[in-house]
Amino acid sequence: MARLLFIAVLALGLAAPAAGALAHHGWSWTTGGNIDLTGIVKSVRLGNPHGVLKVDVEGEEWTVEVGQPWRNERAGLKEGDLAEGVEIRVIGEPAANMSDRLVKVERLFLGKREYVLYPGRD
Report pLDDT digits (tens) over 75-115.
999 989 999 999 999 999 999 988 999 999 999 999 999 99
CATH 2.40.50.100 fits 31-116, yes or no: no
User: Regarding beta strands 60-65 and 52-57, do their DSSP bridges make them parallel or antiparallel, or are they unpaired?
Assistant: antiparallel
Domain coordinates in residue numbering, the chain: 1-29, 31-116
pTM greater than 0.85: no
Confidence band of 37 (pLDDT split at 50, 70, 90)? very high
Give the separation between CA 34 and CA 90, rounded to whole angstroms: 10
**Beta bridge mates, 25:** none
Instruction: Using alpha carbons, list the distances in angstroms from residue 83 to 60, 63, 77, 122.
Output: 18, 14, 11, 25
Closest CA to 92 of 107, 82, 78: 107
pLDDT in tens, 39-86: 999 999 999 889 999 999 999 999 999 999 999 999 999 989 999 999
The runs of H, that is alpha helices, within the chain are 2-25, 69-75
